[in-house]
Amino acid sequence: MTVRRVVLCSLLIILSVVLEATVLAPLDFPGATPSLVLVTVAALAFAFGPVTGCASGFAAGLLLDLAPPATGTLGISALILTLVGYALGRVFDSDSRPLVFTTVLTAGAAAIAILASAALGGLLGNPRIVWSDVPVMVLTGALYAAILALPIIPLVNRLSRAFVPEAFPR
């Protein structure tokens, strides 16, 4: 990875973790809290591919696991976002990335991430997992991710093309 790509990914990840932990988490959303971090990782994976998506997902997940109030098991978010970043980065080989398709993929990844987080938390004995709430969390998390993906994916795509032009040959 180039230095510019690392700087851009780091800034976007830190910004998304800080915004999610300080602005979105305290708000009382019905169902799940919108996952700005997951959408940012998805946008970086769509822009730069599976390796950057995987590295960004791990870094973002680890920061999210360490951000106060860190109540869950350390590493669950890092594992899930690493897999999400890799999988979404593998989806596209060409430069054709229709926004509708990327939005649907991001919403699906958010739903799977919430389900995987609940399953891993349940297996590791997290007492905060309430299985009757999981279906509502999956649906609302996917909806929030789709809404956030509409402006964030094009914004990250534009930023990546402007800040790291060597990654996008013409």
Which residues form the domain of 151? 3-26+33-164
170 within a domain of the structure (yes/no) = no
The CATH number covering residue 84 comes to 1.10.1760
Q: CA angle, 94 as apex, 93 and 97 as ends, to 5°?
A: 105
169 within a domain of the structure (yes/no) = no
Which pLDDT tens digits describe the chain residue by residue (170 residues)? Answer: 589 999 999 999 999 999 999 998 888 888 888 899 999 999 999 999 999 999 999 999 999 989 887 677 788 999 999 999 999 999 865 456 788 889 999 999 999 999 999 998 888 877 777 888 889 999 999 999 999 999 999 999 899 989 887 766 65
130 within a domain of the structure (yes/no) = yes
Residues contacting 107, CB < 8 A, separation 6+: 142, 143, 145, 146, 149
What residue type is 46 in one-letter code?
A: F
Please give the model's pTM, rounded to 2 decimal places: 0.91
The tokens describing 54, both together, are 């995987």
Query: Can you give the C-alpha Rg of the chain in angstroms?
Result: 15
Q: Classify residue 166 by its DSSP letter.
A: G
Q: How many domains does the chain have?
A: 1
Task: Indicate the helix (H) or strand (E) that contains 4.
Answer: helix 3-19
